[in-house]
Amino acid sequence: MVQTYVKDTRGTGFWHEAYFMGGGMETVAVNMPQRLGFRKFAPEHQARGSMFSARTRARREGTAQVDAPVTEHELYGNS
């Protein structure tokens, strides 16, 4: 199901923001034409790396408590 959405959103958008108690924040937006939240003022970077763990992207200690439903390779292939 996740692979299907990433490959073809069929016009559906996804927007997620995280605020970290120790400092830092992130936004993940897929197929969102408007610049909402942090996207209104913060620089954007290609979303790659641990798609299912904000902890890893934010370089926080510890490990995810559950496994990702799919790997990044399964989502994006060799791109």
> What are the residues whose beta carbons fall under 8 Å from the beta carbon of 64, sequence distance 6 or more?
50, 52, 53, 55, 56
Which of 24-49 are b and which e, b meaning 16 or more Cβ less than 10 Å from the residue's Cβ?
A: eebbebeeeeeeeebeeeeeeeeeee
CA 71 to CA 68: how far, in whole Å? 7
User: In tens digits, what is the pLDDT along the chain, a chain of 79 residues?
Assistant: 666 776 777 888 888 888 888 778 888 888 888 888 888 888 887 766 666 777 777 777 887 777 777 777 777 776 5
